[in-house]
């Protein structure tokens, strides 16, 4: 017997999947199903997929974020986490689709993997609401929340000799993709046109999912935004020292002590130069990743499976360098400070983002992948940070909550939708076809340079 809908949900959309019947929301030309559980996990254990069920589940509350420490960049982004709930039971995803999506329709799917140096952020940050992208471009967006920091990205043998798995956050995302593969058709999504979209650490995660075990057939395309590829190599010694500094932890350790351990590990990572800018992250040689010496070859071998769009902003590191008091003093020197700052930004952006990003894209192209790159050069009016890290997010996910975000200078939230419309069209077109729409790129109202390295023959 079919369970009746609650009285308050009689007009709400219902999505029938193998893991449950989800009651969503309908509002302002879109439909949403929020906080869907794709897996469960005990602390420091791999995720366990949600079993099949015929249960009737209300999916109207955003996914909680993994517990985390407040980042230094929180204020300059307009305090994006001020309304977020935190809970270790965070393996959830949320889906947004057009309000007029028809039953049986198969729309391109963009799976959003949030950034945050693998230590902060969430899939359901209100700042990054995909409503405009979905309504305007007729795509389905899935936002994934996964484990972060010491809970998700620091594995190995601790000082007590106990082993903790590495890459738990990456395993979480893989499990979410398996859920999407089996269930997205219920939300008018096309399981054969799934594009992973990640920014910053999310872009790094997307790249590493390409070479992970157990992902065959889960996605077809990738958009990698501002991934810090310059930080991904030769991290094993840093990770071992971080693990030792964190000390022994288990499921019974109070969360406050877990965060204290994370802070100790973070402080050790800070000694390692540029790599210390993102001390937590993926670990080669631990499931689902190959050893580091095999990674480059693995990317070349899997390249023909995927269409890839890889890019960066022209002044990525301005978001970070101004948090360093010694650098700020140097940049404040009369006459020469501005020139020193410009040189520092160019070198650090080259080392961490631009040069390794180009190298990664060329490697995929040489391996037979269909690859395009972009560089976003938009310097928001009145902004001191220029074309900094994260400004692409305001174009992709415009909305009123960008008010007060220092990265945008004097640009008002109501200016963002028209400024980013062509960018959103390029992203949606790529998700649909695997190609960058050259006609659309010529109409991008913000300075943005695209380049096709290799195009798949059709």
The catalytic residues are 200, 316, 389
d(Cα 252, Cα 258) in Å, to the nearest integer?
10
Strand-pair partners of 308: 222, 371
Which value, to the nearest 10 degrees, does the dihedral of the CA atoms of residues 122, 126, 128, 130 take? 110
Helix (H, G, I), strand (E, B) or coil at 285: coil
Integer Cα distance of 339 and 345 in angstroms: 10
Helix (H, G, I), strand (E, B) or coil at 369: coil
> Encoding tokens for residue 436?
């960058």
3-state secondary structure of 140: strand
Residue with tokens 């499976």: 305
The 8-class DSSP code of residue 406 comes to: G
Q: State the DSSP string of 319-340.
A: HHHTT-HHHHHHHTSTTTHHHH
Q: How far apart are CA 54 and CA 50, in angstroms?
A: 12
List the structure tokens of 310.
Answer: 């890889």
Q: Exposed, middle or buried, 335 (CB in 10 Å: 0-12/13-18/19+)?
A: exposed
Beta bridge partners of 375: 312, 449
Nearest in space to 392 (alpha carbons), one of 279, 232, 231, 223? 223
**DSSP per-residue string spanning 44-79:** TS--EEPPP---EEE-BSPPPBPP-PPPTTTTTTT-
Nearest to 129 by CA among 193, 83, 171: 83
| 55: its two tokens | 């249960």
| Calpha distance 396→383 (Å, rounded) | 19
Contacts of 177 (CB under 8 A, 6+ apart): 111, 194, 196, 209, 215, 218, 219
Q: Do the beta carbons of residue 303 and residue 370 sit within 8 Å? A: no
Q: Report the distance separating Cα 360 and Cα 237, nearest Å.
A: 23
């Amino acid at each position: 017997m079919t369970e009746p809908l609650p009285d308050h949900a009689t007009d709400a959309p219902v999505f029938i999947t193998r893991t449950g019947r989800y009651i969503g929301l309908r509002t302002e030309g879109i439909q949403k199903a929020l906080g869907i559980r794709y897996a469960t996990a005990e602390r420091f254990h791999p995720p366990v997929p949600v079993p099949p069920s015929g249960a009737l589940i209300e999916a109207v509350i955003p996914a909680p974020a993994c517990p985390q420490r407040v980042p230094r960049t929180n204020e300059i982004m307009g305090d994006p986490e001020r309304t977020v709930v935190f809970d270790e039971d965070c393996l959830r995803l949320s889906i947004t689709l057009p309000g007029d999506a028809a039953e049986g329709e198969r729309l391109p799917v963009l799976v959003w993997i949030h950034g945050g140096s693998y230590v902060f952020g969430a899939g359901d940050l209100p700042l990054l609401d995909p409503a405009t992208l979905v309504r305007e471009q007729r795509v389905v967006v899935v936002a994934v929340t996964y484990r972060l920091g010491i809970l998700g990205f620091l594995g190995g043998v601790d000082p007590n000799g106990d082993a903790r798995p590495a890459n738990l956050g990456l395993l979480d995302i893989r499990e979410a993709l398996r859920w999407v593969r089996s269930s997205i058709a219920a939300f008018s999504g096309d399981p054969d046109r799934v594009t992973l979209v990640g920014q910053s650490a999310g872009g790094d995660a997307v790249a590493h999912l390409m070479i992970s075990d157990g992902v065959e057939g889960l996605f077809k395309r990738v958009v990698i935004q501002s991934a810090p590829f310059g930080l991904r190599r030769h991290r094993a010694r840093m990770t071992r020292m971080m693990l030792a500094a964190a000390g022994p932890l288990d499921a019974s350790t109070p969360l406050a002590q877990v965060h204290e351990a994370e802070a100790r590990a973070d402080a050790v990572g800070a000694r390692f130069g540029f790599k210390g800018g993102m001390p937590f992250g993926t670990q080669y040689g631990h499931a689902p990743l190959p050893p580091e010496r095999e990674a480059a070859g693995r990317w070349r071998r899997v390249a023909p499976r995927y269409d890839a769009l890889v890019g960066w902003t022209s002044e990525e590191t301005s978001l970070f360098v101004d948090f360093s008091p010694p650098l700020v003093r140097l940049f404040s020197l009369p006459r020469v400070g501005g020139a020193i700052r410009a040189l520092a930004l160019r070198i650090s952006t080259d080392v961490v983002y631009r040069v390794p990003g180009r190298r990664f894209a060329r490697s995929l192209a040489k391996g037979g992948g269909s690859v395009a790159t972009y560089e976003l050069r938009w310097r928001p009016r009145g902004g001191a940070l220029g074309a900094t890290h994260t400004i692409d997010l305001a174009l992709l996910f415009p909305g009123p909550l960008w008010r007060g975000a220092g990265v945008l200078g004097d640009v008002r939230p109501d200016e963002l939708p028209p400024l980013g419309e062509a960018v959103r069209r390029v992203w949606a077109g790529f998700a649909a076809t695997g190609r960058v729409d050259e006609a659309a790129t010529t109409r991008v109202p913000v300075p943005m340079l695209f380049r096709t390295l290799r195009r798949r023959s059709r």
